[in-house]
Amino acid sequence: MVRTAEDPQEPVTRPGLAVTYEGEGVPFFEKVLPLVDSVEVTPDSVAESRGGGAVLNGTAMANIETVSSKVKVLVHGVGLSIGSHEGYSEQYINLLDQFVSQVSVHWHSEHLGYTMVDNENLGTMLALPKTQEVFDMLCKRVSEIQDRYDLPFLLENVVHILPDYQGDYSEAEFLNALVEKTGCGLLLDVYNLECDAHNHGFDIDRFLSELDYNNVREIHVACGVEHKGFLLDIHSRRLRDSTIGLARRVVDSAEGAVEVVTYELVSEAIPVLGYELIADELERLREALL
């Protein structure tokens, strides 16, 4: 978090910047690291399958340890599958155990969705129905995770490609209630909101007017591709002005609650975009948010 003092009487707290990091070496250190206050690491992306289990890749972890001496490390999981009816992934928990034993982590987060059903991989991530049954299940699981790790835990809104299932809560009500009941934080992906608006006519203004901003500690910005009329969360592009504008709006409304804004990318996009362009995007983001 960065403090600015446009008005010395009332210092304004602005968020720091972060970017996805998957254990890359020198070019990342030289071109991107100086521009960020934190890096966001997905343990699943720096893990490999070995002997029926998953272990962290030694080279990537060595680089992450080096980076952790310069900036904060945020963990952003993909594989927890917190919403699977049969239970969340013990394999991911094992990975997270390994990760936090090696690197000092500022907080960890996960998607409010599921990737597994009956321990079978869906191959994608789906949003959860916002029913009372799901709410009660999530509260219990969030508490278990909070008890296991002495770290703040944040949950993120996911993109809906399938239409929303008629539940007992609106999107914002569900997030507000989860936060209130468990004390977890929120990671608000503003690009996912834009996808939902594009794909299903989701009302972003209404959502933001209902959302309790006090626990939005992180924002994700990204840009994906359009396919068959759907805006997808395959994070591989330069940011759209509208996404940065939405991030700015949330930062302003949250009045200091947002600590980090993260530019999210899939690893496949990094060689395509290149570090120069990623650095340009981070500069653009900093200019717009500070």
Partner 1 sequence: MDLTSHQRKLLGLIKSTYEGSNDEDPYIRKITRSTNLEVIREIAAWWRALNIERYCVLTTSLLKRWGIFESAIEEFAINQDTSRFIERLGTQFLEEMGRHENHLISCVARFELALIRVKGGDTRKYVIEWQHDPNVVLDNLLRGAALGEAIGIGNGHYRTIVSNEEPGLFRVVKFER
**Residues near partner 1, by CB under 8 A:** 44, 47-50, 54, 79, 83-86, 114-115, 117-124, 126, 128-129, 131, 133-134, 137, 161-163, 165-166, 227-230, 232, 234, 268
User: Is the Cβ–Cβ distance between 277 and 235 less than 8 Å?
Assistant: no
In the complex, least distance from residue 75 CB atom to partner 1, rounded to whole angstroms: 17
> 286: which 2 tokens?
């900093």
134 or 258, CB closer to partner 1?
134
For the CB of residue 235, give the shortest distance to partner 1 in the complex, in Å. 13
Nearest-approach distance from CB 46 to partner 1, in angstroms: 12
Phi then psi for 104, rounded to 5 degrees?
Answer: -75, 120
CB of 215 to partner 1, least distance (A): 25
Residue 121, helix vs strand vs coil: strand
Strand segments (E) across the chain: 2-4, 12-14, 16-20, 38-41, 47-50, 53-56, 72-76, 107-111, 113-117, 120-127, 153-156, 185-189, 216-221, 226-227, 230-231, 260-263
Find the radius of gyration of the CA atoms of the chain.
Answer: 18
Cβ nearer to partner 1, comparing 163 with 201: 163
Burial (Cβ within 10 Å: 0-12, 13-18, ≥19) of residue 272: exposed
Which two tokens mark 195? 């996808």
Q: How far is the CB of 49 from partner 1 (least distance, A)?
A: 4
CB of 123 to partner 1, least distance (A): 3
| Residue owning tokens 């994906």 | 224
Say how many C-beta atoms besides its own lie within 10 A of residue 165's C-beta. 13
Q: Which is nearer to partner 1, 66 or 132 (CB)?
A: 132
Considering beta carbons, is residue 2 or 234 the nearer one to partner 1?
Answer: 234
User: Smallest distance, Å, CB 117 to partner 1?
Assistant: 4
196 vs 205: CA distance, rounded Å: 12
To partner 1, the closest distance from the beta carbon of 217 in angstroms equals 27
The residue among 128 and 247 lying less far from partner 1, judged by its C-beta, is 128
Q: Which of 149, 145, 154 is nearest to 217 (CA)?
A: 154
**Nearest CB to partner 1, comparing residues 230 and 275:** 230
First to last CA, the chain: 11
- Contact status, residue 247 vs residue 261, Cβ threshold 8 Å: yes
Nearer Cβ to partner 1 (1/225): 225
For residues 96-130, b (16+ Cβ closer than 10 Å) or e, as one string? bebbbeebebbbbbbbbbbbbeeeeeeeebbbbbb
Q: Decide whether 31 or 200 has the Cβ nearer to partner 1.
A: 200
